[in-house]
Amino acid sequence: MAKKRIAIIGTGVAGTSLVKFFVSDERFNENYEIDLYDGKKTMGRGYAYQHDDENLIVNLPAELMSLTSDQGDYIKWLESNKYEAESYTSRSLYGEYIHSTLMNFVHRHQNINTVESFVEDISFENDENIYTVYTDGAVSKYDAIFLTNGEMSYSDPYELKGEKNFIYNPYPIEDVLKNVKGRIGIIGSGLSAIDCFRYLLKNGHSKVTVLSRSGELPSVRGTYYDLSGEYFSIEHAMSDKNQDLIPLDRIVDLFRKELRAHGIQEELLTRKTDRPEIDLKFDLEHPDEVGKIQYLITSLEDTFKVLYKYLSRKDKTRFMEEYHELIQSNHSPMPPHGAKQILEWIDKGRLEFLDDMESVEVNDEFLVGFEDKNQKPFDVLINATGPVSDIRKDNTLLIKNLYNRMLVEPDEFGGLLIDKYHRVISPRYGTMHNFYTIGALTVGSDYLIKGVTMLSTETYHLVNHFLTRN
């Protein structure tokens, strides 16, 4: 067997999980050689878990964050390295765990190598099915590519990038935000916004204003329940499959039936008022009710993932418009202690939430406009709107070059167009031989596949598909 050279581009959770499944497969041997590409600071950590302020917390309990089949692996790692096995740890600490896990694989296998460089371009030789990877000053050829480079670049909805005192990307927060002064506004109200105001308020700033269109924060994690689906299942939904499609209305009916079976009121899904002080208090005061719907949705992740692929274009669009936010807001909740801290800051007047944001004017200061035509001035605006999902709007050099070469095609629902095995579909070459991707770049095809557990499950299938055919 001729040696197969493999490039894994990006070594966060998905990239490290790929390595894990390669080395644990009995078919993996010295005939395969893997090169791992990432920057020095993000190798084995990924962008999300790089070194940063210790107050930036993972929003999942530690017992749900293991990278191996042993669900207690992360807890054991914490204890063996003399860290306190807290339920919610810092993201930097979790990054140390990923890095340690990856380096352990590298040190045990001479055919796995790290390359501390960012990939700038990839070309494809169609006649030979060979990929050429370009980094700064180096060129290497491979038989297979696994693209797991994480989130795309930040969105900029008000086109402020380049303006003085506009912080386009706040990460790493302890480096980027340590010297900001004056009247501070944060654009966005998701997990990135929480990271920003938590850091600023814990480091001496007297007041921070959160600006957004909706004002909706993530929900608060409730009581744990060990639940499973009875009605909202692939088997039940498939009974209504017609011409390889399942009607959205049928899927919604099954989900409502599942809610009733568990004694969950459907109104809990739409409980948000877009007023954080009300929403956070409700979740904290009703942990059992909130926890039940959160953990039911978590238990149904695999079902959502499969059924999403059977929706028509029209139904998928409708699902994203009408139901996605209801599911997502209960899928990635914040820790209770974080919610209590936010309420304390609100009560003390240190944290302000303003919704219905509409525009930004730039003069000597930023004037933020709202739907009621009022304006509010700021000295500094921090962008916490999160990454783009359309690859045509991404300014990452690698993605721009792949799109320009017509090696990749945007999925209209986000990320790259892929087949059911996560192989890239190119407008120039069709389904790409041995070119796989997963994670943020497959958001249009993979529903809810962002968490550690789901990414780990899916990367197993990629490795198995590759080794079966190679």
The predicted-structure confidence for 19-38, as pLDDT tens digits, reads as follows: 999 999 999 999 999 999 99
Residue with tokens 């807001």: 329
Question: Per-residue pLDDT for 59 more than 90?
Answer: no
Together in a domain, 186 and 322:
no
Q: Specify the pLDDT at position 66.
A: 85
Together in a domain, 211 and 343:
yes
C-alpha–C-alpha distance, residues 415 and 434, integer Å: 18
Is residue 411 a part of any domain in this protein? yes
Question: Per-residue pLDDT for 53 more than 90?
Answer: no
Together in a domain, 49 and 129:
yes
CATH assignment at residue 376:
3.50.50.60
At 282-340, the pLDDT tens digits run: 999 999 999 999 999 999 988 998 999 999 999 999 999 999 988 988 888 899 999 99
At 123-156, the pLDDT tens digits run: 999 999 999 999 988 999 999 999 999 889 999 9
Is residue 412 a part of any domain in this protein? yes
Cβ 425 vs Cβ 418: under 8 Å: yes
Q: Specify the pLDDT at position 388.
A: 92
pLDDT confidence tier of residue 450, bands split at 50, 70 and 90:
low
pLDDT confidence tier of residue 456, bands split at 50, 70 and 90:
confident
Is residue 159 a part of any domain in this protein? no
Together in a domain, 393 and 427:
yes
Together in a domain, 346 and 205:
yes
Pairing of β 144-147 and β 430-437 = parallel
Together in a domain, 240 and 187:
no
Question: Per-residue pLDDT for 231 more than 70?
Answer: yes
Is residue 147 a part of any domain in this protein? yes
Together in a domain, 122 and 62:
yes
Is residue 61 a part of any domain in this protein? yes
Token output for 348:
């003390």
Together in a domain, 325 and 271:
yes
C-alpha–C-alpha distance, residues 211 and 378, integer Å: 11
Domain C-terminal end among 283, 299, 329:
329
Together in a domain, 341 and 198:
yes
Is residue 224 a part of any domain in this protein? no
pTM score, whole prediction: 0.93
The share of the chain scoring above pLDDT 90, in percent, equals 79
Together in a domain, 132 and 17:
yes
Cβ 276 vs Cβ 220: under 8 Å: no
3-state helix, strand, coil in the chain (%, to 5): 35, 20, 45
With a CB cutoff of 8 Å and minimum separation 6, the contacts of 446 are 305, 438, 458
Range of the domain at 10: 4-153+388-469
Cis peptide before 336 (omega within 30 of 0): no
Together in a domain, 429 and 374:
no
Is residue 135 a part of any domain in this protein? yes
Q: Specify the pLDDT at position 415.
A: 94
Token output for 275:
């007023």
Together in a domain, 128 and 8:
yes
Q: Is 165 left (phi over 0), alpha (psi -120 to 50) or beta?
A: left
At 339-366, the pLDDT tens digits run: 999 999 999 999 999 999 999 999 999 9
> 81: which DSSP letter?
T
Q: Specify the pLDDT at position 389.
A: 92
Residue with tokens 């939904």: 237
Cβ 74 vs Cβ 65: under 8 Å: yes
Q: What is the mean pLDDT of residues 429-448?
A: 93
Cβ 440 vs Cβ 2: under 8 Å: no
Cβ 112 vs Cβ 146: under 8 Å: no
At 392-411, the pLDDT tens digits run: 999 999 999 999 999 999 99
As for how many domains the chain has, the answer is 3
Residue with tokens 């930023």: 366
- CA neighbor of 262 nearest in space, from 301, 220, 230: 230
Say which amino acid occupies 181.
Answer: K
Question: Per-residue pLDDT for 449 more than 70?
Answer: no
Question: Per-residue pLDDT for 82 more than 90?
Answer: no
Q: What is the mean pLDDT of residues 194-214?
A: 93
C-alpha–C-alpha distance, residues 331 and 317, integer Å: 20
Burial class (CB in 10 A: 0-12, 13-18, 19+), 349: exposed
Is residue 356 a part of any domain in this protein? yes
Q: Specify the pLDDT at position 1.
A: 67
